Structures are given as C-alpha cells and as structure tokens.
Amino acid sequence: MLQINSLAAKIGRFEAPIQQALARVTASGWLVLGPEVRQFEQAFAAYVGAGYCVGLANGTDALELGLRALGVASGQRVATVANAGMYASTAILAIGAAPEFMDVDPATQVTTLAEVERVLDAGVAAVVVTHLYGQAIRDIAHIAALCAARGVPLLEDCAQAHGARIDGRCTGSFGDAAAFSFYPTKNLGALGDGGAVVTSSERLAARVAQLRQYGWSAKYQVELAGARNSRLDEMQAALLSVFLPALDADNARRRAVVRAYASRIRHAGVQLPAFDGGGDSYVAHLCVVRSLDRDGLRAHLREQGIGSDVHYPIPDHRQPLFGERFAAVRLPHTERLAGEVLTLPCYPEMTDAQVDQVIEAVNQWQAA
C-alpha cells in the first residue's frame, strides 16, 4: 500500500547522518535543553528570519505557550479557523479562553483579511492564522499590519508551512510570534515530538523560555504562572539540525509531486489544489484535492493500493466535545470543504513511478 507519507523512506535516506547525530548526543551525556537545542534554535530562527526560536515539546504547546506569552488569559476570546484539525482550538481551550471561529477562502482554504477584520471588530484578544496544507496565506503581511494597527497580537500557526515564503519572506516572520511543530510527518520533522515558538521579540522569547520550564526565573525559583515542562530534547534537536539543510530541496520535491498531479490528473470529479505554479509560497505539506464524492474516490484508491486521508473531517465548531455550544455558528466554506477534501500521497522521497501510480489510479476512477 502506498501511504500518504513514508517515514521509513526518510529515515533510510538520512541513515548515516542520523546515526552520527545520535552518537554525538549519547557521547555528550547531555540529553535535554543543551548545546544541540541551542544550536538548532539559532539555525532555525535564522532560517525563518526571526530573532529567536524557543524549542518546545510539540506544536500544540507552541500554540498554547505562544498565546500565553502574548498575554492571552482565561475568559478572553481568540480567533482561529475551524478547518485546521482543532490544534489551535485545543491550545485556546487549555488557557481557559474561547475560540472565535473564522471561515476560510473556498479556493485556498486559508483565512482571509475580511474574516480577520470581522473578528477584530468583534473584539477578540488575539488572532491565530494557519498556513494550511503548506499554503502561505497570501495576505499575511496585510493581516499582520491590520492586527498591529488594532493592537491585537497575531500568532501564525506554521506547523504545516516550514519554509513557505511570501515575497521571499518566510511564514513565521510576519506575526508577533509563530508556532511550529516538528512532528515526524511535518515538512521539517523530528523522529519524535518537537515544536518551537519563533519570534523577533526578545521579551516574548524569554517568556516562552520560562513557560517551557516550570515558570522559572532562575533554577527552582518559580515566577511565571501558566507554565509547565515542555522542553525539546537533545536527540530531536540534533536530528532537526540534520534535516534543516535539506528543507528547501525537500519542499521543492513536494511541490514537483503536486505539480505533476496538477498537470496530469484529468478528472471532471476531482479538483486539484489551487497554488501558483513553482512559487515557494506553497510547500505542499499535504496534497489536498476536492471531490463531491470524496468517499467514493477514497474507496477506489484503496482498491488500487493507494492510501489517502482526510484533513480534516470534522470542523472544530462541530467537534463532539462542544455539544451545542457552537450550534448557531455557521462557516459555510469550512463546513462544505470538510465533506469534500481528500489528501493524496505526497512526500519528498516519492518516486516518479509512485507519482505515476497515483495519477493513473485517479484518472481511472469511474465516479458514480
């Protein structure tokens, strides 16, 4: 079965440098928040084009601790989209704040300037925008300017957009802070969990660094509330330093896979993702197509030995944990997309033959 990604293929490709990195860490005897973490933090901050990177245990912590560092408190409302897998909503809820949902553009599936303007008018305390599926939000600079003009902090969720750029500038460098995940399947992924907050504010970075380690201002001296243990370990940081130099080339290969799909999948019932040609505003984290008979397409692909997945089947405001809380909220594009989206295999190590296999299988689908 061809899956939507293959970590075994990645591990095989990097086998020697992985072994070297792990041997270096075990030989050093330093396992948590040490020189490897510091080195990766500096390299990744420089890559994104921001002043600081604070390594964390995972991307959801990055969202939560990022929002806490931005001053979000219990009882406040924080804007987020509802089509991005519930991660931001989970972080917002963990603070005791309430999500205020934005709808998305039906073509690009990311949030729009108009929706951000609407929630700012509604009085949210912070805004989270998500560069979904690897698509940088085209309007991100305008969104950042609008939030800044209103004095409302902006957090970019870059967990699916490592290396995506707008006019040469990396996503994660536009907002007050950005949250990254290094979950293994992300464009920049560790071999375990990891995450980071990136920011150009020294003060914010210092706060996140305190929040990731019990709220300490000095060892065993607890100053900040809302903290926890959310450290990045040395092995993951060393591995991320192995993978980071390959990120741009890997993103280009991902893009080439989607470009091949876009130019050779010819099916009236399947709509390919909207992205602009070869530009690096899209890093193809997930190749998400749309179909009115999504489940039919999925079953057909499975019969052909091709795995697929749905990102994401349940919009946040319809998640069972909310019960009737958001029953009156209507997000027409988000709700419609949840029934139509399907993720096809797309990862840097995919062979041309595997790409051909997916294209042929989709083209052969006899939609009902």
Ligand X SMILES: *Cc1c(COP(=O)(O)O)cnc(C)c1O
| 171 part of the interface to ligand X, by CB under 6 A | no
Q: How far is the CB of 64 from ligand X (least distance, A)?
A: 10
Residues 6+ apart with CB under 8 A from 324: none
CA distance 338 to 315: 7
CA distance 185 to 202: 30
On whether the CB atoms of residues 344 and 261 are closer than 8 A, the answer is yes
Among 36, 100, 157, 176, indicate the residue that binds ligand X (CB under 6 A).
157
Structure-token pair, residue 329: 């909220």
| 84 part of the interface to ligand X, by CB under 6 A | yes
Is 10 known to be catalytic? no
Q: What are phi and psi of 50, to 5 degrees?
A: -125, 165
On whether the CB atoms of residues 210 and 222 are closer than 8 A, the answer is no
Among 6, 109, 130, 173, indicate the residue that binds ligand X (CB under 6 A).
130
Residues 6+ apart with CB under 8 A from 263: none
| 108 part of the interface to ligand X, by CB under 6 A | no
Among 55, 85, 134, 345, indicate the residue that binds ligand X (CB under 6 A).
85
Of residues 189 and 348, the one with the C-beta less far from ligand X: 189
Q: How far is the CB of 61 from ligand X (least distance, A)?
A: 7
Catalytic residue among 186, 212, 290, 311: 186
Alpha-carbon separation of residue 193 from 6, 230, 235 (angstroms): 17, 11, 11
| 236 part of the interface to ligand X, by CB under 6 A | no
* Nearest residue to 296 via CA among 362, 210, 238, 237: 362
Restricted to residues 39-58, the positions that interact with ligand X (CB under 6 A) are: 58
| 66 part of the interface to ligand X, by CB under 6 A | no
Among 171, 181, 281, 308, indicate the residue that binds ligand X (CB under 6 A).
181
Q: Provide the terminal-to-terminal Cα distance of the chain, rounded to the nearest Å.
A: 24
Among 14, 30, 183, 214, indicate the residue that binds ligand X (CB under 6 A).
183
| 159 part of the interface to ligand X, by CB under 6 A | yes
Number of residues counted as binding ligand X (CB under 6 A): 14
On whether the CB atoms of residues 88 and 130 are closer than 8 A, the answer is yes
| 60 part of the interface to ligand X, by CB under 6 A | yes
Q: How far is the CB of 366 from ligand X (least distance, A)?
A: 33
CA distance 272 to 317: 26
The catalytic residues are: 186
Residues near ligand X, by CB under 6 A: 58-60, 84-85, 87, 130, 157, 159-160, 181, 183, 193, 195
